[in-house]
Amino acid sequence: MTATSEPGAGRSSRGALDGGLLLFRVDGVPVLLAPSWWIGSLAIVVLYAPLVGRLLPGASALMSWTLAAAFAVLLGVSVLAHELGHCVVALRLGIPVRRLRLFLLGGLSEVARTPRRPGQEGMVAAAGPVVSLLLAGFCALLLLAVPSGGAAWLLVAECAVANLAVGLFNLLPGLPLDGGRLLRAGVWAATGARAKGTKAAVAGGGVVAFGLMVWALWGLADGSSDRWLRLGVCVVTAWFVVLGAGGELAAEGRRSWPAGLVLADLVRPVLQLPAESPVSDALAASAGRGVVLVRADGVAAGLLDEVAAERLAASSPLSPAELAAEPIRPETVLLASDPGEEIAERVQETAAWQFLVVDEEGRPAGVLRREDLRAAMIRPRGVR
């Protein structure tokens, strides 16, 4: 029931479909139904069916199970509408979305990169709850036109409750919920540091998880009629919140750029060689440097892949170095003037081991290797 930001810009479209059954696409974004959604829905049906008899006296067993199944489906549709709100706003802000996935008791809109500004984070986070609360209000008004006491009235009431629950729950101020993202955006805007916002929202996630367990145990102690449904939902949701908050904190650590770290100190000097150069010569020239292989027409054939070059040189040392080139893709080109956090995030989310760094004029300024950046980001400050 929350939007999330995960690495994924460098993954294949096939990988985006690995999360479940493809339902449809929104602006090219696949909407998937994970296998765990069926498990969560079955649990809702089993736990909710006994309550239908209390809400609708005289309902048969078949009617109770049917309305419970309808509630599970309506909850899934409510979560889908919620996530579509996140997805559409993110796309309108130019933030790519890898996929939208429904699972167990919630959903995820997996954005391919972190919002660059707190305002963007806030708008994407708020979109889901706004959609849910609008749908809850519409269903509440619809109740006035439906005769009370019947199955149709209960279905509309279920839809109103489902959307209200999804909207309000996601406004709780803790990651990975939308309220946590709103809290992070606020702290980020106030302090100028996204990491501080993440830490505050992760702490909020811990409070939310604790509150859920207290509410569940209170229901058991009080003998509430919905105590088992409440316990099941709260345990699963608290587990989801704790895992999500931990994942957000880890992701923030991976993208945080250490103070004093300068990109120019990490990039290796770049050497341009003709693409038809013998691979053995190119490999010898690559020691401590990044090698850009250029064709006769001036077009870059790619960066020399040292591992592939070593294999090729072992069997055919005079082969053109271009045969051991790693293509230069848009996502593997870094602008030297980009903020460090954006560079760290790009490297983290892109499936490549080296990146071409260019200046404002588009000229090669060096080559950044993933291993060099990783070592620098975990190295204690002051150690060179």
Give pLDDT tens digits for 352-376. 889 999 888 888 888 999 888 888 8
Three-state DSSP class for 101?
Answer: strand
Question: Among residues 165, 136, 161, 122, which one has the least CA distance to residue 3?
Answer: 122
Q: Is the dihedral of CA 137, 138, 139, 144 positive or negative?
A: positive
Question: Among residues 333, 340, 339, which one has the least CA distance to residue 366?
Answer: 333
Burial of 382 (0-12, 13-18, 19+ CB in 10 A): exposed
Q: Are both 134 and 201 inside the same structural domain?
A: no
For residue 214, tell me if it sits in a domain.
yes
At 92 the pLDDT is 93
For residue 187, tell me if it sits in a domain.
no
For residue 131, tell me if it sits in a domain.
yes
Residues of the chain with pLDDT under 70: 1-19, 105, 379-384
Indicate which residue of 83, 110, 121, 322 is catalytic: 83
> pTM above the 0.75 mark?
no
At 14 the pLDDT is 47
- Count of structural domains within the chain: 3
Q: Are both 208 and 290 inside the same structural domain?
A: no
Q: Are both 22 and 147 inside the same structural domain?
A: yes
Contact yes or no for 302/293 (Cβ under 8 A): yes
pLDDT digits (tens, 9 = 90+) for 219-228: 888 887 777 8
Rounded distance between C-alpha atoms, residue 167 and residue 159, angstroms: 12
At 375 the pLDDT is 83
For residue 231, tell me if it sits in a domain.
yes
Q: Are both 271 and 213 inside the same structural domain?
A: no
At 19 the pLDDT is 62
For residue 183, tell me if it sits in a domain.
no
Q: Are both 21 and 164 inside the same structural domain?
A: yes
Return the number of other C-beta atoms located less than 10 Å from residue 24's C-beta: 9
For residue 129, tell me if it sits in a domain.
yes
For residue 54, tell me if it sits in a domain.
yes
Catalytic-residue membership of 83? yes
What's the domain range around 132?
A: 2-171
Contact yes or no for 293/275 (Cβ under 8 A): yes
Here the CATH number for the domain that contains residue 283 is 3.10.580.10
Q: Are both 225 and 159 inside the same structural domain?
A: no
Residue pointed to by tokens 């316990």: 231
Q: Are both 42 and 7 inside the same structural domain?
A: yes
Burial of 34 (0-12, 13-18, 19+ CB in 10 A): middle
At 135 the pLDDT is 93
Residues with Cβ within 8 Å of 55's Cβ and at least 6 positions away in sequence, in order, are: 154
